[in-house]
Structure 1
Amino acid sequence: MQLRFAGEVIEWRGPAPFLFVRVPDEEADAIGAVSRQVTYGWGAIPATVRLGATEYTTSLFPREGGYLVPVKVAVQRAEQVGLGDEVTLELLIDGV
């Protein structure tokens, strides 16, 4: 499954502050429809993400009925993005 969408870089404070992009509802519904086939536990979905010229692997976090895409610090630095920036992400979820 390949998805492309834009979103704002937000902060979510769990045990430590992290930056994420919320998956829009329509794309989150599509991911939710295949989540049982691709999750490795507690709803996390492994994915390959492209932000600008940087591609990285991560896991989508289930949160409040949708998903959050982590934006790793190395990616933030490489692409010069931070809290409040609007970014476009491409997601690849294998196995579907």
Structure 2
Amino acid sequence: EMSDKGIELDVLTYTAIIDGFGRAGRTEDAVRVLDEMKKFRLQPSIYVYRALIDNLKKSGKLDLANRLLEEMKSVASKLLGPRDIEEIKRRKH
């Protein structure tokens, strides 16, 4: 609705909207906004994924929470890169 009124949304705005919907128990709306964010080629932050996954778990939507968890892992691996991931794995042991 905000974008229909000419307000340009950025990552921080989308994050606040998604978090607000999630905290209000409106997880379907939060997921819809996440999809819209990605449609406009804005990369959701790890915070967005964590907040949304937490709210989905609380509302019993575990399948969707798990799907977003896998998506978040994929995003994190792209942000970190293979050398970073290997270094983290080595230090874990």
TMscore range, shorter length:
under 0.3
Q: Which has the higher contact order (CA 8 A, sep 6+)?
A: 1
Q: Which has the higher helix share?
A: 2
TM-score, normalised with respect to structure 2: 0.22
> Which of the pair has more CA radius of gyration?
2
TM-score (norm: length of structure 1): 0.22
Q: When you count strand as a share of all residues, which structure comes out higher?
A: 1
